[in-house]
Amino acid sequence: MTEIVYVDNVGYDINITITEDGSAKDLTDAEVKIYMKAQGTNIDLWAGGKPCIIDSEAGGLAHYTTIDGDWDTIGMYYSKIIITYSTGEVKKMSGEIYEVIEYNKNIVTKNELIDFMDIPTETAKKTKTIESYLELAETTINLDFPALKNTTNTDYLKLKKQLIKLKGAITYFMNMDEGVINPNQRLPKIEAWKKEYNRMMEKFAELGGVSEGLVRKVEDTKRLTAWVERDWSD
């Protein structure tokens, strides 16, 4: 799984569970460090590793909270965890993959929006125009859904991407020349996308999505995840 992190994100918790043969690895008298290496080059983002706080020795639980300068370089990184015991025993394990992106970089690409709208690439608007639509869409989503503005939760990012596509598609089609597309097709699509956007807004609010704190209190989180991951092509 790839976790998305905004550049210069401070206070981001990386939770680690150390296991061995399917069971928790005891961390008594152990030091846990996490390393980040750039994909493709293996260049260390965190040279020397970052010491983790052990939350439960018996449960094999630890975490690291990022500080200023940790996420200062945009790119893809894979993490490594090294556990060193006072006896000299060393255990190594792979962690999550992280993509560090610009704060203002849209998480939906031009091609993703074109595929969503199901229009030919060769007749699509210019890249800068589409990017401006996506930027406007994300700004609107951040205002309509404050809980999604700075989220790094994988499920919420899927939801945010779908909302951006809907808003971007609405703006795109509203600014299309009727000579390019049949108005009898254009208007029904716009109305359908608006209806779906509003439905998702109501559903998210119903599930407690007005803030990150309230989202965490939703009792049936599986219901939210299943709803986010449903096939939106229907």
The whole-number average pLDDT for the span 49-72 is 94
Lowest-confidence segment of 7-11, 43-47, 193-197 by average pLDDT: 7-11
How many beta carbons lie within 10 A of that of residue 164, not counting itself?
Answer: 26
Note the pLDDT tens digit of each residue in 175-224: 887 556 666 788 899 999 999 988 888 777 776 554 444 344 333 444 44
At residue 222, the pLDDT reads 42
Structure tokens at 16: 């680690």
Structure tokens at 137: 């869409």
**What is the residue extent of each domain of the chain?**
2-101, 110-228
Residue 183 and residue 180: Cα distance in Å, rounded? 9
3-class secondary structure, 129: helix
Which residue type does 153 have?
N
Q: In what order do the strands lie in the sheet with 2-6?
A: 2-6, 90-101, 75-85, 30-38, 50-51
CATH superfamily of 2-101: Immunoglobulins (2.60.40.10)
Whether the predicted pLDDT of 172 surpasses 70: yes
What pTM value is reported for the model?
A: 0.51
